[in-house]
Amino acid sequence: MSDIFKDVSDFESRLGLPSGFYEGLIKEDDWSFVIKISALFEAASTHLLSVRFRAPEVETELAFLEQANPRNGKIVLLEKMDAIYKDQANFLTKLANLRNQLAHKIENVNFNFPNYISNLDKHQLKAFVAWAGHGVIDETEFKGKKVTRHDLVTNNPKMSIWVTAAEVLACMNLDIQGMEVKVKMEAIGWYQSITS
């Protein structure tokens, strides 16, 4: 798990965030947590797109794309470019949708996960566990007891989203590192071709 958080920390640096920003999110109230983690993914998605397009000069313009627009949003573009997997795209979309629900009505500032979960029907709860707990293993030990993903996610939704988000951010960071290696290899190949 520590490797994941090293990649998250690296991504924080890439985005110009203060060290420990991600770690601090878990301490936020539930409303602030959703708003801030979603904003983090919007910035991360924008940055990854600019790297994938090899066009850092358009990063500001890419920031104005909608995150979860199903036709031409950042998430769709990243998935089509194989920068993220389908399950990761689903996680980002659901997170962005939850953020939109919370941000567009100020009375939602009192949002909390226990109330949110208690209002979900059986099918909605199953879908929530699937996306919010994507990064959580099927059965784990938590506080000395074996628990299922369902129980862990429904009893600790913020932590489950936080762990899942870390996995997605780490994968995004690894994709950037892979692109950087690819660009360097192409530059070396080009240099060798002109010096031969």
DSSP calls for 27-69: TS-HHHHHHHHHHHHHHHHHHHHHHHTT-GGGHHHHTTS-SS-
Integer-rounded Cα Rg, in Å, for the chain is: 18
Give just the sign of the alpha carbon dihedral 24, 30, 32, 36: positive
Q: Is 144 left (phi over 0), alpha (psi -120 to 50) or beta?
A: left
Residue 84 in 3-state DSSP? coil
Is 80 exceeded by the pLDDT of residue 187?
Answer: no
Report d(CA 48, CA 18) in Å as an integer: 19
Is 80 exceeded by the pLDDT of residue 142?
Answer: no
Q: Give the predicted TM-score (pTM) of the model.
A: 0.89
Quote the number of domains for the chain.
1
Which structural domain range is residue 69 located in?
2-195
pLDDT tens digit sequence for 13-28:
999 999 999 999 999 9
Instruction: Tell me if 95 sits within 8 A of 67, measured CB to CB.
Output: no
Is 70 exceeded by the pLDDT of residue 54?
Answer: yes
Is 70 exceeded by the pLDDT of residue 175?
Answer: yes
Kindly state the tokens that stand for 91: 């996680």
Mean pLDDT of the chain: 92
Report d(CA 167, CA 172) in Å as an integer: 9
Report d(CA 12, CA 27) in Å as an integer: 17
Q: Tell me the mean pLDDT in the region 96-113.
A: 94
More confident position, 70 or 183 = 70
Kindly state the tokens that stand for 155: 């009893």
> 144 falls in which pLDDT band (50, 70, 90)?
confident
Q: Quote the pLDDT of residue 158.
A: 96
